[in-house]
Amino acid sequence: MSSRLGDLLQRRGDLTAEQLAHALDQQREQSGALSTHLVRLGFITEEKLLSYLQREYRLPVVDLGSLDVPREVLSVIPQALVLKHHLIPT
């Protein structure tokens, strides 16, 4: 998805070729998702990224910070797994 994301943002005028190249360089050097680097570098806002992902996958955006996770769920999933994969907002 990373190259599709970069190509789409560039075609839409939300990202320059130079910005995309810089973000891809950062991704190669530091690993991680291209989207993370685009936001971290300030090339795209998180809101614009979420809007693209919402349209692409036809799924609603959910504010995970507003979710109330039941205790039963919290007791079933090991804390190390939750933290490693960011499964539940902390």
Residue 1: the pLDDT is 42
Burial 56-86 (b: 16+ CB within 10 A, else e): eeeeeeeeeeeeeeeeeeeeeeeeeebeeee
Contact 17, 2 (CB under 8 A): no
| Predicted confidence (pLDDT) per residue in 6-64, tens digit | 998 999 899 999 999 999 999 999 988 999 999 999 999 999 999 988 988 899 988 87
Distance CA 82, CA 74 (A): 9
